[in-house]
Amino acid sequence: MFKSGLDAVKDSLTARSLSRILATALSLSCLLLAPAAVMAEEEGEWTVTLIKHANKAIEAYNRGDWVTAKTEFRFCIGLNPKNTEFYDGLMNACLKTNEWDQVSFAAQKISELDPSRKGEVAFYNGMAMYRLNRLD
């Protein structure tokens, strides 16, 4: 009788070899997840609370509820102040409500946290400074 390739493999694996394969897979997965754990410590933990408020912020922004979006992005910044995504959200929501001091604040924080984005947010910071009559 001819067996399919999968059935032949199943029959040839013993409990011992299967446990070795699982142990190897587990140890490899730990190695792959280690950089993510280090990154999470450096950037701040993504807790259930943070994810919940980040989702609320995005939903509020998408429906045009700028007040709720700003409140939720600020809450997220309080929980994870090194994440530029929350400053982006705050900056964009504040652009919609003409809160230029907050636009400038968020743009400066983005530049500080991620210097490679300095040119990207310079326009928004410049626009905010113009609107605030701070053209030093």
How confident is the model over 62-101, as pLDDT tens digits? 999 999 999 999 999 999 999 999 999 999 999 999 999 9
Domain, as residue range, for 80: 48-131
Residue 101 lies in a domain: yes
How confident is the model over 104-124, as pLDDT tens digits? 999 999 999 999 999 999 999
Claim to verify: residue 25 and residue 87 sit in the same structural domain: no
- Angstrom CA distances, 116 to 15, 65, 113, stand at 52, 30, 9
Residue 53 lies in a domain: yes
Sign of CA dihedral 74, 75, 79, 84: negative
What pTM does this model have?
A: 0.66
The pLDDT value given to residue 49: 93
- Count of structural domains, the chain: 2
Claim to verify: residue 84 and residue 112 sit in the same structural domain: yes
Claim to verify: residue 117 and residue 60 sit in the same structural domain: yes
